[in-house]
Amino acid sequence: MSKLKIRIVVVTYFKEELNLNKVVKWKSELFEVTEIKDYCPNIEPDIETWGYSDSLLEKELLPAKDDVNMTVYVLDVPLEDDCFSRIISVDRVIAKGLYIINGRKVVK
């Protein structure tokens, strides 16, 4: 079975540096991160909690790519219905923040 190929897109500016080196180096028999990209769309928040609705994100985010199985968009703002992650299409997922536990330290 071939590995799931994942592209990570960091959307907007994180207040603290987001360290994705651990994700890229993560050894897994199930998946591999093939690309990490920064993306800053020129859109205004459209929900009350100063975040983005699913419909706005689906329309404005970079489209999925044919050479990956899944694109994960990491945002630093609230998502609709105050969720931590949501599926916005068959091969696109949005997530609020990304935390990797490394011993006792949480790496953003």
For the stretch 28-55, pLDDT in tens is 999 999 888 888 888 888 888 777 888 8
Instruction: Say what the pTM is.
Output: 0.77
In the predicted structure, residue 15 carries a pLDDT above the cut 70: no
Q: Which residue has the higher pLDDT, 52 or 108?
A: 52
Q: Name which of 50, 49, 54, 88 is nearest 72 in CA terms.
A: 88
User: Where are the domains positioned within the chain?
Assistant: 4-107
